[in-house]
Structure 1
């Protein structure tokens, strides 16, 4: 009975998650800098961040946020500040000597908890995700759809997001890919830092529509 609705939700989510944004940038950076395990834990953090958006969407809090300029701006500035913090740290990356670069490839320095929290916070604080899930749960999903079914959609969205970014982590954590980046690692860090800073600035000047 709800298959058509579910397939619509899945398609919209696929298009949204495939478009590059803060989640993609942070998973790529963690994967290249710290390896597959860190990238995968970051992807899981991003996936679990989806539950934050699903939770308040089901409770109706998302509607309040969307109608309150002050709450939206508070969330927006918190997210922008976090992206700018990560981006500026990356922009300050210094060249590593070849021995250190090889050692970094051999041993991951990133803790699973740190990688997970980075992914979770990046997704959970994204106000664009707030508006996306609000529109999804108010426009696409029928308000008469049972809460249990809507919660099931939420579980799928979290799982699909984690799976997608785990594949991204798998791709960018390949040893050959990491070795290539390691030779110009500080330039890659600076590039990803510029991307994150750009996303943070764009987010800071975005308006509630």
Structure 2
């Protein structure tokens, strides 16, 4: 049985590239931050867990070779790309409406808003799993981090290392941006923040809809 830790010198460069990608701003991180500062730590963490599960889904698909299958059936990726782009546009519309709502009405509305854990998890999962670029990101990480003859145990190792890091990062964002200071800052600049989120989601959605896979 090959020594799986002998592949660590291959894995580290891919891992560093993965960390940069996960830490950088994107629809998933923006959604986690927005949920955490506007609806608290619990909601932010649950949404972050949904995002993580979406990432893990693509990681497993790449590890099992399903990326090659999806490439063969390009129509499946096109459908997912359209769904993902439309969902981001929908989030942009919600953020835009919130930005135009006066603070008094927003406070009243938020007091009546109660998300279930299932709704939050599905929202986070949908944001990540409907982005077909994620599977190619994982495929690139595995290809970059391992030679062609790497055993399944080495693939499991790189998936495990990257996934555990993404779990910490996603939930860390939720915890960090659910503090009292973050909440005060959000209340003071709520309409600007929601407006920025609307622009960001719009750009991400349009970019996904018009991109080539």
Both structures adopt the same fold (TM-score exceeding 0.5)? yes
- Is contact 1:43-1:165 (8 Å) kept? yes
Check conservation: 2:50, 2:120, Cα contact below 8 A: yes
Other-structure match for 1:91: 96
In structure 1, how many angstroms separate the alpha carbons of the residues matched to 2:55 and 2:188? 35
Deviation at 1:75, TM superposition (A): 1.7
1:30–1:115 Cα contact (<8 Å) kept:
no
- How much does 1:69 deviate? 3.8
2:66 counterpart (61, 66, 71): 61
Partner of 2:31: 26
Q: Is the Cα contact below 8 Å between 1:35 and 1:108 reproduced in 2?
A: no
The root-mean-square deviation of aligned C-alpha atoms, in Å, is 2.4
Match of 2:119 in 1: 114
In 2, distance between residues paired with 1:59 and 1:186? Answer: 44
How far did 1:98 drift? 8.4
Which residue, out of 150, 153, 172, partners 1:148? 153
Give the TM-score of the pair, scaled to structure 2: 0.86
Q: Relative to structure 2, which stretch is displaced further, 192-201 or 42-51?
A: 42-51
Range 140-149 or range 125-134, more displaced: 140-149
Matched residue of 1:143: which SS?
coil
Q: For residues 142 and 78 of structure 1, what CA distance do their matches in structure 2 show? A: 34
Deviation at 1:18, TM superposition (A): 1.7
Alignment partner for residue 132 of structure 2, among 127, 133, 152?
Answer: 127
Superimposed CA distance per residue, residues 122-154 of structure 1 (whole angstroms, 9 cap, x where no aligned partner): 111112212111222234322322213312322
Gaps in structure 2 of 5+ consecutive residues: 1-5
2:3 corresponds in structure 1 to none
Aligned to 2:10: 5
What TM-score do you get using the length of structure 1 for normalisation?
A: 0.87
Gaps of 5+ in 1: none
Who is 1:202 aligned against? Answer: 207
Aligned-pair CA distance for 1:164:
0.8
